[in-house]
Amino acid sequence: MKKKISIILLAVFGLILGWRIVLLFTSEENKNTGRTSRPPVAVEVDSVRFGPLTEIRQLTGTIHPLYQYIIAPKVSGRIVEIRKRIGDWIEAGEVIANLDDAEYQQGVLEAKANLRIAEASLKEAQIQLQQARQEKERVESLHAKGIASPAELETAVSSYSAQQSRLQLSKAQVEQRRASLKSAKIRLSYTILTAGQPGYIGERYVDEGALLAPNAPVVSIIGIDLVIVRTTIIERDYGHIQIGMPATVAVDAYPGQSFTGRVARIAPLLQEAARVAQAEIEVVNNQKRLKPGMFARVDVVTAARENTQIVPSQAVVNRSGENVVFMVAENGSVARNIAVTVGIVTPKFSEILAPILSGKVITLGQHLLEDGSPIILPQSASVKEVTPDSTTRKER
On whether residue 135 sits in a domain, the answer given is yes
What is the span of the domain harbouring residue 292? Answer: 221-302
Residue 383: CATH number of its domain: 2.40.420.20
Same domain membership, residue 197 and residue 177: no
Domain limit, last residue, from 266, 284, 302: 302
Domain limit, last residue, from 175, 190, 205: 190
Residue 129, classified by CB atoms within 10 Å of its CB into exposed (0-12), middle (13-18) or buried (19+), is buried
By the 8 A CB rule, do 118 and 173 touch?
A: yes
Same domain membership, residue 292 and residue 276: yes
Dihedrals φ, ψ of 373, to 5°? -65, 140
Contacts of 242 (CB under 8 A, 6+ apart): 263, 266
Write the CA distances from 219 to 133, 199, 246, 292, integer angstroms. Answer: 62, 12, 35, 16
Please give the Cα distance from 192 to 96 (Å, whole number). Answer: 8
Summarize pLDDT for 212-242 with one digit per residue, the tens: 999 999 999 999 999 999 999 999 899 989 9
Same domain membership, residue 108 and residue 85: no
Same domain membership, residue 297 and residue 367: no
pLDDT given for residue 34 in this prediction: 46
On whether residue 342 sits in a domain, the answer given is yes
CB neighbours of residue 58 within 10 Å: 15
Same domain membership, residue 170 and residue 208: no
Same domain membership, residue 272 and residue 261: yes
Same domain membership, residue 199 and residue 186: no
On whether residue 12 sits in a domain, the answer given is no
**How confident is residue 16, by pLDDT bands cut at 50, 70 and 90?**
low
* Length of the chain, in residues: 396
On whether residue 18 sits in a domain, the answer given is no
Summarize pLDDT for 117-160 with one digit per residue, the tens: 999 999 999 999 899 899 888 888 887 888 878 888 888 889 88
pLDDT given for residue 144 in this prediction: 83
Same domain membership, residue 341 and residue 314: yes
> Which run of H or E residues covers position 228?
strand 219-234
Summarize pLDDT for 76-133 with one digit per residue, the tens: 999 999 999 999 999 999 999 999 999 999 999 999 999 999 999 999 999 998 998 9
Residue 257: CATH number of its domain: 2.40.30.170
Q: Is 182 helix (H, G, I), strand (E, B) or coil?
A: helix
pLDDT given for residue 330 in this prediction: 84
The DSSP string of 39-95 is PPEE-EEEE-EEEEEEEEEEEEEEEEEEEEEEE--SS-EEEEEE---TT-EE-TT-E
Summarize pLDDT for 168-213 with one digit per residue, the tens: 999 999 999 999 999 999 999 999 999 999 999 999 999 999 999 9
On whether residue 374 sits in a domain, the answer given is yes
On whether residue 279 sits in a domain, the answer given is yes
First and final CA of the chain: distance in angstroms?
A: 88
pLDDT given for residue 9 in this prediction: 62
Residue 90: CATH number of its domain: 2.40.50.100
Which has the minimum average pLDDT: 71-75, 137-141, 265-269, 364-368? 137-141
Same domain membership, residue 155 and residue 134: yes
On whether residue 131 sits in a domain, the answer given is yes
Same domain membership, residue 227 and residue 179: no
Same domain membership, residue 322 and residue 249: no
Same domain membership, residue 389 and residue 258: no
Split into its structural domains, the chain has a count of 4
Domain limit, last residue, from 278, 302, 326: 302
On whether residue 15 sits in a domain, the answer given is no
